[in-house]
Chain A
Amino acid sequence: MSKPPDLVWGTLDLLLLKIVALEPLHGWAISQRLKHVSGDELQVSDGSLYPALHKLELAGWITAEWKTSELGRRAKFYSLTRAGRRYLDQETAHWHRLTSAISRVLALKEM
């Protein structure tokens, strides 16, 4: 039942915010989008998706709304808030700084 060691700690939040930033989506669609865009590299179990979404909702980064889905059933759609947008920008910048720093280190030639 344990999660595969697939995601850098804390990056699931970033991914979810980015996906929701593109357009409001319900949970299942987010799960599909995650699988689709990241291929098999990033595996997020559906079981950990919802607690993560709810945490973001409580933090005020995303907000949820019940709307009718494409199949005519009511579903909970998540969208980014303004605070969430600021947070995402800030974290994205931070991510770039971090990864480029790490890349620079890894690019060093061994003697």
Chain B
Amino acid sequence: MRRWIHAIPARLKAIVYRRRIEQDLDDELAFHVAMQARANAREGMTDAEAYRRARLEIDGVEQTKERSRDVLPLHWARDAIQDVRYGLRGLRKSPRFTVAAVLTVVLGVGANATIFSVLNPLLFKALPYPEPERIVQVFRTSPQSDRWPHSMANYLDHRARNTVFEHLAAVNWEDTSFAEPGQPAERLFTLRTTGNFFGLFGVGPLIGRTFTDADDQAGAGEVVVLSYGFWQRRFNGDPTIVGRAIRLNGGNSTVVGVMPRDFEYPLFWGNIDLWRPFAATAQVRQDRGNNFVREFGRLKPGVTPDQADAAMKAIDKQILAEHANLDRREGMRIEKLNIVNPVMRRMSAFAFGLTFLVLLIACVNLANLQLARTAARAREFAIRGAIGGGKGRLLRQSLADSLLLSLVGGAIAIPLSFWCTRLIAAQQFADLPDVRVVLEPATLAFAFGSAMVTGLIFGAVPAWLASRADINDVLKQNPQSMTAGPGPQRFRKGLIVAEIAFALIILSGAVSLVRGLQRITAVDPGWRVDGVLAARLNLVGPTYSDPVARRSFFETLRDRVAGIPGVASAAVSSSSVPTATFSASTSFAVEGRTDSVLAYNERVTPEYFATLQVPLRRGRLFTADDRFGRIPVMVINEAMARALWPGENPLGKRIGNRGPNPNWREVVGVVGDVTFPSFGASYSVDTAFETYQPLAQTGTQFVNILLRTDRQADVIASELRRVVSALDRDLPVYGLITARAAEQRQTASLRLLANVLAGFAALGLLLAAIGIFGVVSYSTAQRAGELGMRMALGARQSAVLWLVLEQGVRLTMVGAAVGLAGGLALGRVLSSLMPNLPAPEVSIVLGAFAFMVLVAIAAFSIPAWRASRTNPMLVLRHE
């Protein structure tokens, strides 16, 4: 402690009188040399010799000065400023190197920061609820899917019997019509919940209160909790909203609370306007056939998801044992709450891994360029070393250069990736305006950090290699014919091989994934997507409380819509276009079987099959005669017919409700399978069991209008609105969308991923090509003397071309072979992550290989060609 106190005055003086100290140093050493020379002269040396010896004995005047300066306080700051100044000067002097290096940093760092920002909310963010790791989802499984919903009765059993959850809540997404007197009706996105829902997620209201179990009782007064967004949008954030009655579905509901903004998490929940309790009737509470609720659980402290999984499977076994008519093949499964499904998560992680490979190529490039440049500057360094620049100082200069490049590159890359992030986010999350995808400080730090580390590591290695060169050797060499020593030479070849290998790995990884995704999404959906337009209606309120009134309404509606000019056919159905799933599934009883069969349960008007062009395989479709009072009928899909009655005629078989009152329906027709990509635990094409019933024999509250037309969608859309408002002025038409758009929305994230991957592959190739081109240009320039000599002695241009190219071809083949092996290994990883992803065709992999070889050879050829065209006389004169 005391020691440095004495040092303060001297150090302060050294900082303040910086310039005088430099002068003192000069004078002091000059004095020493003069004195020593005088002493030497007295021993009989000539004056010149005496001076030379005196300077030698002090180990070189400049060197000693430099070491004395290193003792001074803040010398590192002075050195750093000087390094940066030299660095900038050097970079200005070699613009081609600077541009290539900066471009490399920009591409590498920019791509990483962008991808990190886009994937960040999907991969690395937990949901914004307390202790999110304790929140899980409970799914029902069957041979067809592992993400089924539950029936209310089963949910209540799960809730009552489990000992692993602090809370087990059920939810269901619904639409609600909101119509204040004198205002046009609006459809609200609603989440029906059990009373414990908010308690489970552990977030309290912004104002008012959330639900209690009492609110969830049948017959309790209708209460709702508003989302922050809806409260702001429709009520301008009115603080007196609590206690107010609003008109929902034609009845009065009391607002009891408003949730804080962060509670909505549209990336997971979708847009939510309000929450309503189920308040399920006794009938619904006892129903085990209608599976429509999703279960969320909060684990008790100390309970692991695996324990909960085992516990719930045991409860499921009990329930199956107690109810003979449940499907034996069903099961139960617990999944930790994630924002995106596991498949997307794994694929995103995979894509993210590939970005690191891109960054790696960028690093290799930097190292290569830096290496070429340090070798070219070996003479400069040697001279600087000879006149007093210490080795450490020169090493530091190289590092300073690298860091400068990284800084400049990073400074360009960050605004660029900010812009790209916004662009991608706007595309990807267009439907979810509240989703905030932003370049966060952490991402910025990540990007900048990676740029800096890249610069440091890949600046240090070449500089270290250069610093090993012997000053005398370097100075003795002719500057034109000088080549780097064998160490850097081998290192550089290794880098080129690595670069080609990495680029090919990325290319084959991207190609495999993109091709796999293509093949999944290109699966025949079983109906004709183009030309179909869909819209939704919500038939609620007193006008539609009578099922007969509802039926007559949608029949009139269908006829009017079909009458719109240009509409080939129109149908009404319970689900929208089947791009992702049908909206409901039911456990049916099958005559002659003890267990029940889980199948989609779609209710349609007869024109449905013609409108979507689902082909009839056997029997007949529905007719206008299939209505109440006639024999209840059903149409099923081929997969179901095959599975239930293999080798038998399914027509005339009967399917009904479980329980004492089956209300058998006769199978009258078999239609083709409607398929859609499924995002289960594995990525597969879902060909589930599908049943259709005549809407005229069942009825539904939410109806979808589907129509087929060859006219412009927006023209038809406005006609459709006109038709509906002529029937009921207060009925909102919403969700107008073409089937093609709905399908594309479904696969948007997949397509984004495919595009990102294709982008990576292109980027990797580009970087590798830049790197090869830069290094080969440099090395041929180094060999200009030798090549010129050969040509002067009569070597042909083609011979010289081959001389240069030969090495390139060798390096390319080695790199591509390594890359091919790596690509195959990556394919293994990919297929273990996504077992159902179709493996890429051999031709695709070989194509990637060939393309990579072509690009690499091209990158080698240009500088080789240029070298072969140089005028030998020019080169020789230069010698």
Contacts and interface: CB of A to CB of B under 8 A. Distances in A.
Interface of A: 1, 26-28, 31, 45-48, 50-51, 54-55, 57-61, 63, 66, 69, 71, 73-76, 81, 83
A75 B31 CA distance: 7
B59 A74 contact: no
A50 B59 CA distance: 11
Interface stretch (B67-75, B257-265, B344-352, B752-760): B67-75
Interface string B61-101: 00110011011110000000000000000000000000000
Given A27-B32, A31-B32, A54-B71, A83 B6 contact: yes
B77 to A, nearest CB: 16
A45 B34 contact: no
Contacts of B73: 58
Interface of B: 3, 6-11, 14, 24, 27-29, 31-32, 34-36, 57-60, 63-64, 67-68, 70-73
Nearest to B29: A50
B57 A45 contact: yes
B59 A51 contact: no
The 10 residue pairs across chains A and B that have the minimum distance between CB atoms:
A47-B59, A60-B6, A28-B35, A46-B58, A83-B6, A51-B67, A60-B7, A55-B71, A51-B68, A28-B32
A109 B36 CA distance: 48
B57 A59 contact: no
B59 A45 contact: yes
Contact of A58 (B7, B34, B57): B7
Given A46-B59, A51-B68, A27 B6 contact: no
9 contacts: A46-B64, A47-B64, A51-B71, A54-B68, A58-B10, A59-B7, A59-B10, A69-B31, A73-B31
B71 A58 contact: yes
B10 A60 contact: yes
Contacts of A58: 7, 10-11, 14, 71-73
Given A58-B11, A75-B31, 12 more contacts: A1-B59, A26-B31, A27-B32, A28-B31, A46-B64, A58-B10, A58-B71, A60-B6, A60-B9, A73-B31, A75-B28, A76-B24
A27 B34 CA distance: 12
A45 B32 CA distance: 13
A27 B3 CA distance: 24
B773 to A, nearest CB: 42
Contacts of A81: 6
B7 A47 contact: no
A67 to B, nearest CB: 12
Contacts, number: 79
B593 to A, nearest CB: 92
Contacts of B58: 45-47, 50
Contacts of B31: 26-28, 69, 73-76
B3 A47 contact: no
Nearest to B21: A54
A60 B14 CA distance: 11
Given A46-B57, A76-B31, A59 B67 contact: no
B373 to A, nearest CB: 28
Contacts of A31: 32
Contact of A46 (B7, B14, B32): B32
B7 A28 contact: no
Contacts of A61: 6
B30 to A, nearest CB: 9
Contacts of A66: 24
Contacts of B71: 51, 54-55, 58
A107 B72 CA distance: 43
A59 B9 CA distance: 9
Contact of A59 (B6, B28, B32): B6
A54 B36 contact: no
Contacts of A47: 57-60, 63-64, 67
A32 to B, nearest CB: 8
Nearest to A30: B32
A28 B60 CA distance: 15
Nearest to A45: B59
Given A58-B14, A75-B31, A51 B7 contact: no
Contacts of A76: 24, 27-28, 31
Q: Most chain-B CB neighbours within 10 Å: which of A1, A31, A54, A81?
A: A54
A71 B31 CA distance: 11
Given A74-B27, A75-B31, A57 B10 contact: yes
Contacts of B64: 46-47, 50-51
Contacts of B8: 60
Contacts of A69: 31
A60 B6 CA distance: 5
A74 B28 CA distance: 9
A60 B12 CA distance: 11
A45 B54 CA distance: 11
B28 to A, nearest CB: 5
Contact of B70 (A27, A28, A51, A73): A51
Contacts of B70: 51
Nearest to B60: A47
A99 B856 CA distance: 68
Nearest to B63: A47
A54 B64 CA distance: 11
Nearest to A55: B71
A1 B72 CA distance: 23
B60 to A, nearest CB: 7
A2 to B, nearest CB: 10
B54 to A, nearest CB: 9
A43 to B, nearest CB: 11
Contacts of A83: 6
B220 to A, nearest CB: 83
Contacts of A75: 28, 31
A69 B10 CA distance: 24
Nearest to B73: A58
B227 to A, nearest CB: 67
Contacts of B63: 47
B805 to A, nearest CB: 45
Contacts of B28: 26-27, 50, 75-76
B376 to A, nearest CB: 27
A37 to B, nearest CB: 17
Contacts of B11: 58
